[in-house]
């Protein structure tokens, strides 16, 4: 990298911004590697905390993160694809029901004004039985009737999670009372 030499008696214009009685030198940003020029043509007014790595707005282009964490706290992602690896909904829950005596019960209690979404489910039965997973009452099944042989079961992962009605509990109903039953449900409330 080289500079210019100022010799006494030679006039060279240096850009300044005069504020009050003080001249502040105007500096042009160049983001090129050593020995190469690449003038910066973007705007910095939407970029804050560069040292800490926080970007408040990107109009076009890409954000590449090689280390660290991307945190999305509020707002809307209007376009593109977000890979949800390692992400968890803020109102995530996991519930395990183990019973040998109940043929009806609650997996996740109702939340006023919110639906309960099921993302993953594992069911294991000890005796042959039919099973429903319901929205609130046994008259509104989300899953079922599911028919299991003795020592049967299932594992399910849902890309489009089914849900209860808003304000309804997530419940189960088993056709035979007294049979061993295990239900593991993961999901979120929204």
Domain-located, residue 106: yes
Which CATH number characterizes residue 154's domain? 2.60.120.340
Nearest residue to 63 (alpha-carbon basis) of 49, 80, 84: 80
- With contact defined as beta carbons under 8 Å apart, do 122 and 148 qualify? no
pTM of this prediction exceeds 0.75: no
DSSP string for 8-41: TT------EEEETTEEEE----B-PPTT---B--
Residue 53 has pLDDT above 60, yes or no: no
The total of structural domains in the chain comes to 1
Q: Can you give the three-state secondary structure of 59-124, one letter per residue? A: CCCCCCCCCCCCCCCCCCCCCCCCCCCCCCCCCEEEEEEEECCCCEEEEECCECCECEEEEEEEEE
Instruction: Print the domain residue range for 156.
Output: 92-189
Tokens of 17: 């911004």
Would 45 be classed as within a structural domain?
no
Which range has the worst mean pLDDT, 11-20, 29-38, 53-62, 159-168?
53-62
pLDDT in tens, 59-89: 666 666 666 666 666 666 666 665 555 567 7
pLDDT in tens, 142-157: 987 899 999 999 999 9
């Amino acid at each position: 990298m080289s500079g210019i030499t100022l010799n006494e008696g030679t006039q060279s214009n240096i850009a300044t911004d005069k504020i009050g009685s003080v001249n502040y030198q105007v500096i042009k940003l160049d983001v090129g590697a050593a020995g190469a020029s690449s003038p910066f043509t973007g705007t910095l007014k939407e970029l804050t905390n560069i040292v800490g790595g926080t970007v408040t707005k990107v109009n076009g282009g890409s954000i590449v993160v090689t280390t660290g964490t991307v945190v999305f706290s509020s707002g809307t992602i209007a376009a593109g694809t977000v890979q949800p690896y390692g992400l968890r909904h803020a109102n995530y829950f996991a519930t395990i029901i183990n019973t040998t005596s109940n043929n009806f019960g609650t997996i996740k209690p109702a939340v006023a004004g919110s639906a309960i979404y099921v993302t993953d489910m594992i069911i294991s039965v000890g005796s042959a039985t039919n099973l429903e997973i319901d929205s609130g009452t046994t008259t509104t099944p989300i899953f079922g009737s599911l028919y299991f042989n003795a020592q049967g079961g299932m594992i399910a992962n849902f890309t489009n999670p089914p849900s209860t009605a808003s304000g309804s509990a997530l419940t189960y109903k088993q056709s035979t009372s007294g049979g061993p039953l295990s239900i593991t449900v993961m999901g979120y409330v929204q």
